[in-house]
Each structure stands twice: as C-alpha cells, then as structure tokens.
Amino acid sequence: MSCPVPLLFAQLVAQSPTPSDSAPASALPPFGPPTPEQATAFLGTLILTAGLAVALYALLFVVLRSVFRRTDFELGIAILNLARIPALLILIFGSLRLALNFLAPSIALLWLGRLCAALLVAAITFLIGQLFTQAAVYYLKSFAEKTEAAWDDVLIPILETIIPPLIYVFGAFFFLQSLGIDLTGLWVAFGGITFVLGFALKDILANFFSGLVLLIDTSFQFGDMVRLSDGSTAVIKKVGLRVTHLYVIDNYCEIYIPNAELEKRDIVNLSRPTPHYAYSLDVAVRVDADPVATTKILAEIVNGHPDILGDMEEKLRCLDSFVGLKQAEDGEISKVDAGRLRLLAYKKLNDQLQLVESRLEALIANIRLLEKGGLRKEELRNLAGDFQAILSLFGLRLAGDRDDKKGRSRLKEEPETVLANATIGLIRELYQAWLKDPDLTPEDEQILPQEWEQKIEVLKLKLGRLHQKLMSSSRDETRLDDYTYSFLSWLRENFKESQTIWKEPQVRMTDIQGNAMQFTIRFYVDNIKLEHWFRGNRVTNEVRREIVRRLRQAYILHLL
C-alpha cells in the first residue's frame, strides 16, 4: 500500500541525500539512476511546485493585473508588465532546482543543479535591474517634478547611472559563484581595488558629497540666477557628480566649478524666494522743475510697463501711455495688448488668493478658539466643512469618502466649468495669458507652464497633508492651528503673493547738485528667469528710453 505523496515527500526530504556543491566531483558517480521512490518524489515535487507556480502566476498576472487596471494603479501595472517573463523563468528554474534535491547525487546532477541556480540568479538580477531602471527611476522622476527640493532632481539621475551597473556586477559575481567557481580571490582583489580607487579619487568623492550637501541644503535650484563672489551673474544649469555647471550671462559662456570649492563660496541667489528682482535707475532733471510733477511723471512711466510689479489698477491706467513697446507682427498681439491680458489675469488671481487667505485666517482663529477645551466630533465636522469650502476655492475636492491606504488625502480637480473660476483655473489662465507676451523666447513657452504646474502639484500635496492632519486631530489637536498657519505662510511666500505693496515702484528725490535734481527709481521685474535671463535688462532699457522721451516732452531733462 503506497503512502500519500506529501508524506512521501517529507520522508524523502529527511532521508534522501542531496547533491552537495561542497563535495568533490571525483567522489560522485557520473550519473546515478534514481530509485522508484526518488523518481516519484522528483515528479511529485515538480508537479506540486509547478502547480503552485501556475497558481501564483495567475494570481499576480491575471487577478492582480485586473485589480490594478480597475483602480488605475499605473505603477503596479508597469511592475507586472516588467516582471512577467523574469517571474516565469524564476518559477521554472526554482521549481526544477527544488525537485533535483530528491534525486541520487551524481556529477551530472551536481552541474545541472548549479546551472539551475545560476540561471535563477540571472533571472532575479535581470528582474531587479529592469524594475529599477524602468519602474523605480521613472516614477521617482515623476515624484521629483512635484517637489520643491532640488536634491532629488540630481540624485535620481546619479542613481540611474550608478545602480544598474552595480546590480549587474554583483549579479555576475553570484552567477559565477552559483556555478561553483571559487571567487574568494576575486572578492579580495575587488576590495583592494575599491580601497585604492577610494584613496586615489578622494578629491572626486569630496566634490561628489559636497554636491549632495549643496542639493540637500537647497541653496539653489536649477535655473536660479546667482551672483558669485567675483561679482559675475550666472545661472545654475546642472550639478554633476564632480562639478557644478553654470552659465555666465554677461560673457555668454559656461564655467565649471568643483562642488567642494563652490560649497565654500559666498553665493547670492537672485531668484529666491521669488524670481522678482529689483532694479534701480538714477535720473537727473533740471533744478527748476516741479519735483511733485516730476515724481508723478516718473511714477506713470514705471507703472506703465507691463513687466514691472505694481498696483494692477494703476498699471492698467498707465499702460497705454507707455510708448516704444513691441508692436503686433507675424500673427502675434502687441506688447500692450498682451500686457493688458496678463494684468487682468493677475488681478483676478490676486483677488482670489486674498479671499483664500482670509478664509484660512478665519479657520486658524476658529481652531485656536475650539482647541482650548478639546475638539469634539461636532466641532471637527464643522472644521472639516470649513476646510472643504477652502478646497473648493482652490478648485479641488476629495476623491472619495475614504483616504488611501497610507492615510493620505486624495484630492482631485473640479470639472473645467467649476475650475475656471477657482484658484487653479485662474493660475492656468494667468500663464496662458503670459505666453502671449511677444518678448518671450521659445524656451519660456516650456518654462512657464512647467513652473506653475509644478507649483500646483505641490499645492495639492500640501493641502492633502493638511486635510490628513485635520482628520486625525486626536494626535495633534493642539497643533492644528500651527499646521494651517504653516500652509498659509507657504502660500504667501513660495506659491504666489496676493499683495505686493512693498514691491510697488518707488520714486524718490535723492539729491540736488548744481543745476540738477537727482531722482532714483526702484522697481521689481516680474520674472528675471525669462527671455534667457535678459528680461530685466530689456525692461530697464525700455524704461530708460521712456524716461528720456517723457522728460524731453516736459522740457525738464537735464543734459550732462
């Protein structure tokens, strides 16, 4: 009477010899015919493991795939597509390697087992390499585009360059070791070479880690305009493994500074916290001119330029009086018309942001009032309702009644009809109007949408985290006002200023010398990164020309 197959497997696992890689090949027969029990155990194990492999394969690549497609989980679908063939090979070689343990040891069986183990290592190595290069790196890059930090934008390409070769090098080591090749000497040599290279390349490694420090400290981002210690103005183009690549604007050339040296330099970031940059012009008028009338003329000139920050109502009033701006040509609208569209879009967005800020301030005051006695369920529901009203002002809504598995709130944009009058819709209206500016370069047509869409993604993430804090207030109920205020500060300082009163143009009479009065005009250009970083120079030149024209008309221009 034969015993059940699983019981037979258990007995054979305990009793039958297994092919030992450490046993000398000369001690084994070339080929040992299996006994009936061994053949039964081999075939039974093979059938059982094959069945389990088929079930696992169906679960992963049929059932789980359909679940991912219904939930629109792109990362899961991508991973399953990449892993399909390697996973099949892993299941085949793994099943065969396990079943071979039940056969009589022999030289042929020993090498067959080693070959299966080596092929198993090769399949696993290939799977890990593909998952890293095709899935992990791709989605890490997508995540990096939604963050404000600069270090991930550089660290990910570095990892993309270094990690895959390391995966395949170590995979090759384990592949050869699985074939029974002694790699002890090779490992020792590899360790010695690593030590020698580390000592020889210490300066390069110092530059590499200095570059990481620069990125983690986020002292600048790609595209930022900086002033170096020698007074030159440059743009950060790339932080590499060893050097930082900068473009010097005035000289129209590129320089490469070692990261360790750059870390020690004093760098003035002209693009932080915003890309607005202040310029000053000195103007001399006749000493017998009316200083009040002169101040009024200069204020109208600087407020009339559409690329200078200021009060929107005043700028719209003075816009048509500014002469010398680019005219309509080649299907483009004139600078004046484009400026008017942008100023109107700015005004609508600023009004909307002021409304959002007032609602957030009211929410903070309400939280501070309620949290003193502890937040009850009814009060939490009221706070949640207030916050959802704020979300609607942004043009966002909760994706569903439940959050995702990690507890993060999922937010979706409202339909286009609702979104058009919300904050996000007004932001897109602004940069679409901005793109009509005839002075922009083809590069700016990519910079502006990318810059604002990244801000929108960061906005969604921060609002989702704030909603999560409000919904899990039992842990942080005394800090909800701090979290909300932190978001409000970020909104004002890093997202978009709703009011720029202190950045409005200023005209001051600074001195009287002989037969001339000296005036100084200070104004902010809206975004110095545009027009290949020459926007500020162009605006300053156009303002200077308009000053000469208007002061000549008034017969008060002082000629040196």
Backbone phi, psi, residue 426, to 5°: -70, -30
Q: Which residue type occupies 217?
A: D
CA 45 to chain centre: 49
Backbone phi, psi, residue 239, to 5°: -110, 110
243, containing H or E segment: strand 243-248
Match 């600078």 to its residue by tokens. Answer: 335
Tens of pLDDT, residue by residue, the chain (560 residues) = 444 433 433 343 344 344 444 445 555 556 556 677 777 777 787 788 778 878 887 887 788 878 877 776 777 777 887 788 888 888 888 878 887 777 767 677 777 888 888 888 898 998 888 888 877 777 776 666 666 555 566 667 667 777 888 888 888 888 888 887 776 766 667 666 766 665 555 666 665 666 566 655 556 677 788 888 778 888 888 776 677 788 888 777 888 887 777 777 777 888 777 788 899 999 999 999 999 999 999 999 999 999 999 999 999 999 999 998 999 888 889 999 999 999 999 999 999 999 999 999 999 998 888 877 667 778 878 888 899 999 999 999 887 644 444 444 578 899 888 888 999 999 999 999 999 999 999 999 998 998 899 889 889 988 988 888 887 755 566 678 888 999 999 999 888 988 878 899 999 999 998 899 999 999 999 998 899 888 999 999 999 999 999 999 999 998 76
- Cβ-based neighbours of 214, under 8 Å, separated by 6 or more: 220, 239, 244, 259, 262, 263
Tokens encoding 388: 């959802």
The domains located in the chain, with CATH, are 5-189 (no CATH), 205-269 (2.30.30), 277-310+501-553 (3.30.70.100), 335-495 (no CATH)
Strand ranges, E, within 51-148: none
Distance in angstroms (rounded) separating the CA atoms of residues 353 and 9: 72
**What's residue 560's pLDDT?**
66
CB atoms within 10 A of CB 156: 17
Backbone phi, psi, residue 456, to 5°: -65, -40
Match 């900068």 to its residue by tokens. Answer: 246
Phi and psi based region of residue 161 (left: phi greater than 0; alpha: psi -120 to 50; beta: remaining): alpha
Q: Using only C-alpha atoms, what is the Rg of the chain?
A: 34
**What's residue 286's pLDDT?**
94
Distance in angstroms (rounded) separating the CA atoms of residues 22 and 398: 61
Q: Cβ distance 325 to 337 under 8 Å?
A: no
0.75 exceeded by pTM: no
Q: What is the DSSP letter of 131?
A: I
**What's residue 282's pLDDT?**
94
